[in-house]
Amino acid sequence: MLRVAMSPANGAWVPSIHEMRSNANKHMTTMVVSAVLNALILGGIPLLVFYIWQKRRGRSNAAVLDRAGLRRGDWQTIRWCAIVACAGVLAIAVVPPPIAAFNRASSPQRAFIGIGWLWPAVPMAIIYGVAKTGLPEELLFRGLIAGSFDRVMPRHVANLAQATVFLIPHLVAAAVAPELAMIVPLVFVGAVFVGWARARSGSIVGPVIIHAALNTAVCLSVAWRTRA
């Protein structure tokens, strides 16, 4: 299929519909593969190791899942987490993070720059927010790490400890992209809140709702602000 010129003024060319659909499919395929690998590395393998360790200690399957936070939890905590998630999404819409931070080669949100709105941005953002980051990261940091800390430390100490562990990779990201330094304190406060929700409910459902909603919103914000 032929390309169509944008304007004689700059002589630029725009992709044909066929090329745009092909690029969209490539973006989607890459995101799905990346999400599967991330979920396996951050969630699947640690959970398997945790499961084997707990089974060797004579615990039932139900007890292992409960210790990993893989249960529903109480509705009141889930409602609080849903409210916080909505407030966070609104904050991202009103005061979005700087685009420059996401235009670096190391940024996972770079894939959303200029890909258009709705398709493939929306499904890609949901896959990224839920399958690639929200669920596996909450399973690791809140389900396994925070849960383990909570069983051997005073609750407030355990909560601060798990939030600090969660903060470390974000400090590395801020060192690479200084534009993100402004959100580091917010990440810590958010980690403390989801740690509280995990300890209160014994579940990672609420934390996953918040984490997935915020990450999805950031991706959609990047796609929306860089749409053609």
* Rounded-to-integer distance, Cα 55 and Cα 51, Å: 6
Query: What one-character-per-residue DSSP string does 104-140 give?
Result: STT-GGGGGTTS-SSTTHHHHHHIIIIIIIIHHHHII
Contact (CB, 8 A) for 195 and 162 = yes
pLDDT in tens, 64-121: 999 999 999 999 999 999 999 999 999 999 999 888 888 888 788 988 988 877 888 9
pLDDT in tens, 21-48: 567 778 889 999 999 999 999 999 999 9
Hey, which residues does 14 pair with through a beta bridge?
4
What mean pLDDT is predicted for residues 194-221? 97
How many Cα atoms within 13 Å fall on the side-chain side of residue 109?
Answer: 24
What per-residue confidence (pLDDT) applies to 91? Answer: 96
Q: What is the pLDDT of residue 119?
A: 83
Note the pLDDT of residue 22. Answer: 66
175 contacts: CB under 8 Å, gap ≥ 6: none
Please state, in angstroms and rounded to a whole number, the distance separating the CA atoms of residues 22 and 15: 10
| Residue 1 pLDDT exceeds 80 | no
Burial bucket for residue 1 (CB in 10 Å: 0-12, 13-18, 19+): exposed
Question: In this model, does residue 16 exceed pLDDT 80?
Answer: no
Cα Rg, the chain, nearest whole Å: 20
Q: How far is residue 90 from each of residues 33, 35, 81, 131, 170, measured CA to CA in Å?
A: 29, 25, 14, 22, 22
Q: What is the pLDDT of residues 56-71, one digit of tens each?
A: 999 999 999 999 999 9
**Closest by Cα among 126, 127, 102 to 114:** 102
**Mean of all residue pLDDT scores within the chain:** 89
* Surface-to-core class of residue 128, CB atoms within 10 Å of its CB (0-12 exposed, 13-18 middle, 19+ buried): buried
Residue 9, pLDDT score: 42
CA distance 95 to 98: 9
* Domain definitions of the chain by residue range: 26-225
Mean pLDDT of the 178-204 span: 94
As given in the structure block, the two tokens for residue 5 are 């010129």
